[in-house]
Amino acid sequence: MNLETKNKINDDLLRPVLHTSPWFYVIVLVLGGIIVAGLGSWMYQMSHGLVVAGIKWPVYWAFYITNFVFWIGISHAGTLISAILRLVNATWRRPVTRCAEVITVFALMIGALFPIIHLGRPWLAFYLMPYPSERGIWPNFRSPLVWDFFAISTYLTGSTLFLFLPTIPDFALMRDRTTGLRQRIYGMLSLGWQGTTKQWHRLESAMQIMAIAIVPVAVSVHTIVSFDFSMSPVPMWHSTVFGPYFVAGAIFSGIAALIVAMAVLRKVLHLEEYLHPVHFHNLGKLLLTMSLLWAYFTFVERLTVWYGNAPAEMAVFWETQTGSYAPLFWTMVFCNFVIPLPLLGIRRLRTITGTVVASSLIVVGMWLERFLIIVPSLAMKNLPYSWGFYRPQPVEIMITIATFAAMAFLYVLFSKFVPIISIWELKVGAHPRRVLTPQEEEEAQELWRVRP
């Protein structure tokens, strides 16, 4: 790779960072307005109590916990996929990894907010934290909620570090291209990076360690989230299949969210030269595999309920198959399996458009799946004379919409201040693989760097 090619990569990928389009301000204002409306709805809920939401006996978990599980699942898009692709040294991953890792961090931040939003008095959120009490009543290590805190906080810390490490060389590039305050900020974030052989080797070692460590953490997070349900004596929750079922669903929805994000970035930031059809093709094959696995787990879950024929579970079963929740259930099946199967299974349909359509439907279908896991079981968990019904209220709907806007808002801001595609990974052949002479090292650094 010659110097001209490297400079072209730098210019193309730094253009959104160094030059601001008027559309950026329009998008930020629109998304910011939706977020403000969501914050206003939350303030209204805090002022008037949870009575303004649809949460009531017996459905105490509704939209908010649905969103919590959904966003924690979406977070598996990045760190897990990126780590696995790094470990197997899949060369086609290079333009994809940072797009995925950013989704992980922001989805975790948004998902972790929902247990607090779900509280009637969120200023007492510190009760969610498992700190030792002088009365010896906290923490209760038998509660899965305690392990939720440990798992999510650990995953968020590790994912942030996993995102930051490979961004250090790009911060150094932006340090050399900017002036004033931005140069000082990028200079601090680059941690004195100069692109020496020793720094490259240390960076690669750190990323290898993080890639190995983050995979079991990512798997454990959604397994622990599934414990919130499987450890409860609620119809269709108390199941041993929930651990792998939730992990498979998380990876499934995460890949779909990543494909949608990549398609938007490709179009808006004009990254057609870097996000190629092969990236969507390969991710589409992964998505097809997860669609088949999701269909298997969904079938197995309902098969065991039908075979057991317990009255309480069968009541929920038939309510989702033929009752009032049936339209949502069959919409979920069509979105997650029936429509994606031909779009992703037939090679000539596995185009950018085909994978984006399938992914968009899967995101909708996976949100419906989380809703159908939670609400019908709670609404019909008791004897028939005490069954309930849940109907979402405007406050919940507005807060839910605001969280999707918040995800887009954070993603837009990140892509404005940091290259959304890892520049140095595209130029991976330029950095040294052996100990160089001082003259060779200086030449390598000149190839890697961009002068103002």
Express each pLDDT in 228-272 by its tens digit: 898 888 989 988 889 899 999 999 999 999 999 999 999 999 899
Of 203, 209, 206, 207, the residue nearest 190 (C-alpha): 203
Please say whether the beta carbons of 192 and 176 come within 8 A. no
Of 393, 314, 429, the residue nearest 3 (C-alpha): 429
Q: How far apart are CA 369 and CA 317, in angstroms?
A: 14
198-208 pLDDT, tens digit per residue, is 898 999 899 88
108-165 pLDDT, tens digit per residue, is 999 999 999 998 888 888 777 776 666 666 667 777 778 888 889 999 999 999 999 9
- Determine the average pLDDT of the residues in 215-236: 88
- Determine the average pLDDT of the residues in 74-83: 79
Lookup: tokens for 89: 């040294």
283-330 pLDDT, tens digit per residue, is 999 999 999 999 999 999 999 999 999 988 999 999 999 999 999 999
Q: At 434, phi and psi to the nearest 5?
A: -145, 170
Percent of the chain with pLDDT over 70: 91
Structural domain boundaries in the chain: 3-128+138-445
Collapsed DSSP state (helix, strand, coil) of residue 239: coil
Domain 3-128+138-445 has CATH 1.20.1630.10: yes
359-388 pLDDT, tens digit per residue, is 999 999 999 999 999 999 999 887 777 788
Q: How far apart are CA 8 and CA 10, in angstroms?
A: 5
Q: How far apart are CA 70 and CA 189, in angstroms?
A: 32
318-341 pLDDT, tens digit per residue, is 999 999 999 999 999 999 999 999
